[in-house]
Amino acid sequence: MSFSPFKSLDHTITVVRDIFLNKLDVLCWVEALSSKDCFDQYLADANETTVQELHEWGSKYEEKFGYRFVTYPYDKTSEKILTELKTGFRNNQLVEFNIASQEKIKIVETKIAGFYVLWHQTRTRIIG
């Protein structure tokens, strides 16, 4: 007996990608990109100067593009994130929007995978 409308993690991610990439209008995308993804915990290795630069460039970026800088932070150092932020700032709206969207979908997929594993473990304990 299944408690999920999805057959597998891959099926779940396929459905989410389809909705995110093909069914949402631009206003929904901007709202999704503007949501706060907290990756401060990944900046623990950053020195004070890097943190300050991240905040300064982040503000400039948000002012220029209208949404916060989006990156998949899980495998990056604070210096790598700062370099991406500075590089992204030089891009035009369309290029940066496409990059930010791809980074956001990677974040969403990672979160879904985590929920899926947790759901599966809970389901296994309940069903036996």
Q: Is residue 88 a part of any domain in this protein? A: yes
Comparing 76 with 13, which gets the higher pLDDT? 76
The per-residue pLDDT for range 16-62, each reduced to its tens digit, is 777 777 776 666 656 666 666 555 656 677 889 998 999 999 999 99
Q: Closest by alpha carbon to 101, among 48, 33, 54? A: 33
What span, in angstroms and rounded, lies between the C-alpha atoms of 64 and 72? 20
Assigned domain for 124 exists: no
CA–CA gap between residue 22 and residue 111 (Å, rounded): 20
Tally of structural domains, the chain? 1
What is the residue type of 27?
A: L
Q: Quote the pTM value.
A: 0.69
Residue 71: give the domain boundaries. 9-119
